[in-house]
A and B are shown apart, each in its own frame.
Chain A
Amino acid sequence: MHDIELRVNGHAERASVPAGMTLLEFLRDRLALTGAKEGCGIGECGACTVLLDRTPVTACLVLAVEADGLDVRTIEGEAADGELSALQRAFVDAGAVQCGFCTPGMIMSARALLLRSPHPSDEEIVEAIAGNLCRCTGYEAILAAIRAASGTGGEP
């Protein structure tokens, strides 16, 4: 077992985890943050995307112990005091959420994009979400949502 200390959505967390536990399992099973989903478990789908030190990673391919000392952000960190972030609101308004399975990962990839590029071009948006598969929307509504959220600031 390994003792780890990390920040998750601004809260300090301490835990003892086995080496083989993924960051995704830690978030879902230990912290009950079930927003990030396991679609494939092998880096293909992006449903497990979270931010590690402000940059998106697939949490299924990161060990919990690798996140020791780092800052993690998940979809649960988006809404503040029960209010959706501007980015979440844009997804709802654009009809960019259908079954919703891809949405938490999609929004975290979009969040990371807005953090590094507040007014992204369409090309940047497409590259940023290329690792987030969506079986429902056909992506157009998602592009529209991210375009609409452009300029609303990197922080939720």
Chain B
Amino acid sequence: MLGRFEYARPQSVDEACRLLAEGGRAAAVLAGGTDLLVDLRNGFRSPSLLVDVKRLGELQALKTRSDETVVGAAVPLNVVVENRELRKAYAGLSDAALSIATYQLRNRATVAGNLCNASPAADMAPILLVLDAELTVQNAKGTRAVPVATLFTGAKRTCLVPGDVVIDVRMPPLDGELRTAFRKQQRIRGHDLAVVNAAAAYAPSRATLRVAVGSCAPTPVLLEPFDTKGTSPQALADEVLRAAAAATAPIDDVRASAAYRRAVLPVLLRRLLADVVSGRGGGI
């Protein structure tokens, strides 16, 4: 038994919002449950109501078009991984999803759940930060867009409030070529949380590079955009490394020491930049 609580499977988003608003802090949204049910089992959380949003139609969208890419909040990671259009447009997104947990868990786990859980090591966070993704969030008062860049307010904390339901994650329209990549340093090859993770998006025609780093601060960190015009790959890498070091503050934890994280971050970033700048893409 994972505890004493009530379970509801609302028939509409409105009903979900109402149940969550009534429940306040004692209610929790249940998506794949791969973070939440572990927290219940370990006694880290003890909500009195779980509101299961997995079967709500509005949360099942998966659209990849040049003008609009939408990943519904209930879409399991395996569906994201296996979508060819998504891989063509955003290889880094597919690779980040594939790097999470195991096949069995990816049948349950969602992109939205990964973001809302707000682990500093969340593997979907860096790539969605560099893509300027936004969450569509609904509550009893209405619907609003929340940029992923403003979502994280601390380790395991977000700006969402009780009653909020994430409906989907949206990427802005693709405007010209965009090369994306994700890299993750783990203790073991296989399923493990990141010691350090990072993602990049490079738009050659606009000469801009976006880089985000995870597991090196209380929240995933998006660096200021880099102007790549007239910069050698070497100089660009040095600039990115300097900015990343300045924007992060690694700590010692069960997975690695701060010193190891500081040492491995530049290695990971150089590989990541080679992925996007040389156009090799992918690779974890």
Contact = CB atoms under 8 A, between A and B. Distances in A.
Interface string A1-41: 01000000000000000111110010000000000000001
B32 to A, nearest CB: 8
Contacts of B41: 41-42
A41 B6 CA distance: 21
A61 interface: yes
A131 B54 CA distance: 23
Interface string B37-58: 1101110000000101010000
A66 interface: yes
Interface in A38-53: 41-43, 46, 49, 52
B33 A56 contact: no
Nearest to B106: A131
Given A2-B7, A63-B7, A65-B7, A43 B105 contact: yes
B283 to A, nearest CB: 15
The prevalent SS among residues of A at the interface is mixed
A63 B191 contact: no
Interface string B70-112: 0000000010000000000000000000000111110110000
A63 B104 contact: no
Given A21-B1, A130-B102, A62 B7 contact: no
A18 B5 CA distance: 9
A56 B104 contact: yes
B190 interface: yes
B80 to A, nearest CB: 14
Contact of B108 (A20, A62, A65, A128): A62
Contacts of A63: 2, 7, 33, 37, 50
A131 B100 CA distance: 11
Given A42-B42, A57-B107, A61-B37, A131 B191 contact: yes
Interface string A66-81: 1010000000000000
A65 B49 CA distance: 13
B3 interface: yes
Chain A CB count within 10 A is highest, among B40, B101, B102, B108, for: B102
Contacts of B40: 20
A55 interface: yes
B37 A57 contact: no
Contacts of A57: 104-105, 107-108
A127 B106 CA distance: 12
B5 A46 contact: no
Contact of B103 (A2, A52, A62, A109): A109
Contacts of A2: 7
A55 B105 CA distance: 11
Contact of B5 (A19, A22, A25, A131): A19
A20 B1 contact: yes
B34 interface: yes
B2 A66 contact: no
A58 B104 contact: yes
Contacts of A58: 104-105, 108
B2 A20 contact: yes
B103 A130 contact: yes
A2 B7 CA distance: 8
B141 interface: no
Given A20-B3, A56-B103, 16 more contacts: A19-B7, A22-B2, A41-B41, A42-B38, A43-B38, A43-B101, A43-B105, A49-B104, A56-B104, A56-B107, A58-B104, A61-B33, A61-B37, A66-B52, A66-B54, A131-B102
Interface of B: 1-7, 9, 33-34, 37-38, 40-42, 50, 52, 54, 78, 101-105, 107-108, 190-191
24 contacts: A19-B7, A20-B5, A20-B40, A21-B1, A42-B38, A43-B38, A43-B102, A43-B105, A46-B104, A49-B104, A55-B107, A56-B103, A57-B108, A58-B105, A61-B33, A61-B38, A61-B105, A63-B33, A63-B50, A65-B7, A66-B54, A109-B103, A128-B103, A131-B102
